[in-house]
Chains A and B, each alone.
Chain A
Amino acid sequence: MATGPGANQTATEREVWRLLAGVPDPEIPVLSIVDLGIVRYVRCGAEGRLHVGITPTYTGCPATVAIRSATRAALDEAGHREALLEEVLSPPWTSDWLTPAGRAKLAAFGIAPPAASAAAAAAGRVSEPLCCPRCGSPSSERISEFGSTPCKAHYVCSACHEPFDHFKCI
């Protein structure tokens, strides 16, 4: 269920997708909200208004409010003051919705992208050890299942000894 501009999009819808691809995640600014997979839809309703659906990553993620206001500001600035920003809860966000571009950006930023699908992780099949995003060594150790934000866990590389984050698979 990857999100992004699909076929049959109007010019306005495509333009808004491009616009949202420029709204950064406040906690991992190297990612846009489109890279994160939290923009669920951009569509023109029958009544002629633009609808933008956004889903939260974690229920308690403090970035949710900041993302909402940044998205609102981006829409307003581009002249889409009439656009409706809608919160979508179902289906729930999963790390599987991170785009391939998003995963590449995470790795380049020093955060190991999700190492398994959400389904595999729920069944206890997470492929550890993870590769260090800095030196590429396949040997690392988990320090904590949690990290500085709800979406990350903490690891350390056994080769270069640098600590790094892993984007949790949920």
Chain B
Amino acid sequence: MSAAAAAPARRDPASSDALFRYVLRLADTSLVLGQRLGEWVGHAPALEEDLGLANLALDLLGQARLLLTYAGEIEGKGRDEDALAFLRDAPEFLNLTLAEQPNGDFAQTIVRQWLIDAWQIELYEGLMASADTRLAAIAAKALKETRYHYRFSSGWLVRLGDGTGESQARAQQAVDSLWRFTAELFTADEIDERMDAAGIAPQLAAAAERWGRRVEEDLGRATLVLPAPQPHPWHGKRGVHTEHLGHLLGEMQHLQRTYPGVRW
């Protein structure tokens, strides 16, 4: 199917590389989170939640495919979505550190999902007004799915937090252990600043404020405690990852690495 999009605008090499990296950050966060959720298939606490997590994973994979395809076109070296997903090593992945954290128990998976869903809502709402029309179109599509994901994850956050003593303790533990990865979501580096200046990406500080209000309100409804701000030595979006990503990629990329170019 031929894309209806116009030929990519000519950019100088530095802007083109910054945009490539920015789009990869979005793509890799969705891809890695989707792969994590896929690990639950057949293992979730109940069939309905198994289906729910698999559906979330499918949407995230779909969003990642659109973004990876676009990233490959920006790069202009002939890498398609598969080459980018299956043939890059961990330091070339630019996902948020939060997305690669292990599933843990159901509470940890839900808290990780809820934190990222709330972030992606702010991100995609901002990107809908992007000067980059392709990103704006992908964001408008992804936002509908993300709002639905958030309904699921925030619903479970409240059910777990405001549930039994055991579920509340586990939900609070998940919030406490994952909170340290959230500062990375809104800490702008030179790529974020460049995208903001070019009108491509939303300003992170404003998005952070809205995200913070939403998260605090949800925690209140879930009778959970907001952790204190923490420093952020995490730089997944710059390619510096926790050890967990390598293991995830080992499983995800196994087939393509073992049988290069395999088709079925």
Contacts and interface: CB of A to CB of B under 8 A. Distances in A.
Interface string B40-76: 0000000011011011001111110110000000000
A143 B50 CA distance: 12
Interface residues of A, number: 32
Interface string B208-219: 000000000000
B48 A150 contact: no
A59 B66 CA distance: 8
B2 A85 contact: yes
Interface of A: 53-54, 56, 58-62, 68, 84-94, 118, 122, 143-148, 150, 154, 168, 170
Interface in B128-144: 133, 136-138, 140-142, 144
B55 A87 contact: no
Contacts, number: 86
Contact of A58 (B2, B48, B145): B145
Interface residues of B, number: 32
Contact of B4 (A53, A56, A62, A143): A53
A144 B144 contact: no
A148 B63 CA distance: 20
Contact of A90 (B2, B137, B147, B152): B137
B62 A90 contact: no
Contact of B60 (A56, A60, A62): A60
Contacts of B140: 90-92
Contacts of B152: 145-146
